[in-house]
Amino acid sequence: MTYLFYFLVFVLSSSIVSFLTVMGHDFPKIEFNRRSACDNCHKILAWFELFPVLGYILLRGRCRNCQNKIHWIYPATEFLGGVFVLTGLALGKSIYLFAPIFIMMILFAFMDHYHGFIYPIFYILSIPTFVFSILNHNKIYLLVGLGTYTILYLLHYFGKSIGLGDVELLTILALLFGYNKILSIILFACALCILHFLLQKKRSFRFVPYLTIATGIVYLIS
């Protein structure tokens, strides 16, 4: 029974990531009755091909119709989403509390990855976490949030090295996580960014995907 529960949790979490991929890619042109199709030949996918992670394995990473390679980022992010939630549960984290924040961050990560910007409207997804936190008497780090915003905004204004979306997102994380964790998140994200640069030699300015992975790791290990 427990195994079935964890299996269902995994499927649900990876399906949510899969949905957020589409949302991040297509927004604001979302069609909820649109059927998923191959990026190359546009053939509509069968139900079993839509199954997170497993669909990719069954197809051996290629479209059934045109043999075009399916990008590894789809199964990889679905898998990571499932593993993240299962690890959180195993470690006894109150994952429901931070679920809205992580949904927001994953969505922003895909928007940033595909388009290089994020839609601020989705900041509203962070509200439930703030409300739950206050109801649970968890601390909201107002001063840390204010400090983070001021420093990063000045960096954005004078240095142009950081986007306004990153400033706002980091402020939300600072308000919820406090001084120690926000520093760890920033350092972790920068380390991932540098590592990726060294491996691929491709300079990437899209910071939110690294930030999302870093937040997930810091949340799990702290």
Which residues of this protein are in contact with Zn ion, per CB under 5 A?
Answer: 38, 40-41, 63, 65-66, 68
CA angle, residues 178, 209, 135, in degrees to nearest 5: 35
Which candidate, 102, 72, 92, 59, places its Cα nearest to that of 215? 102
Smallest gap from residue 41 Cβ to Zn ion (A): 3
For residue 37, list its beta bridge partners. 44
Smallest gap from residue 80 Cβ to Zn ion (A): 25
Which lies closer to Zn ion via its Cβ, residue 40 or residue 94? 40
Which lies closer to Zn ion via its Cβ, residue 23 or residue 39? 39
**Alpha-carbon dihedral of residues 137, 143, 148, 151, nearest 10 degrees?**
180
Which pair of structure tokens corresponds to residue 37?
Answer: 């199709």
Which lies closer to Zn ion via its Cβ, residue 56 or residue 141? 56
d(CA 213, CA 113): 13
Query: 72-76, long-range: CB within 8 Å, 24+ apart, which pairs?
Result: 74/18, 74/21
Which pair of structure tokens corresponds to residue 103?
Answer: 């949904």
Which lies closer to Zn ion via its Cβ, residue 20 or residue 63? 63
Smallest gap from residue 40 Cβ to Zn ion (A): 4
The burial class, CB within 10 Å (0-12 / 13-18 / 19+), for 205 is: exposed
Which lies closer to Zn ion via its Cβ, residue 40 or residue 222? 40
Which candidate, 9, 25, 177, 175, places its Cα nearest to that of 83? 9
Smallest gap from residue 53 Cβ to Zn ion (A): 19
Which lies closer to Zn ion via its Cβ, residue 34 or residue 115? 34
d(CA 76, CA 121): 27
Smallest gap from residue 81 Cβ to Zn ion (A): 24
Smallest gap from residue 70 Cβ to Zn ion (A): 9
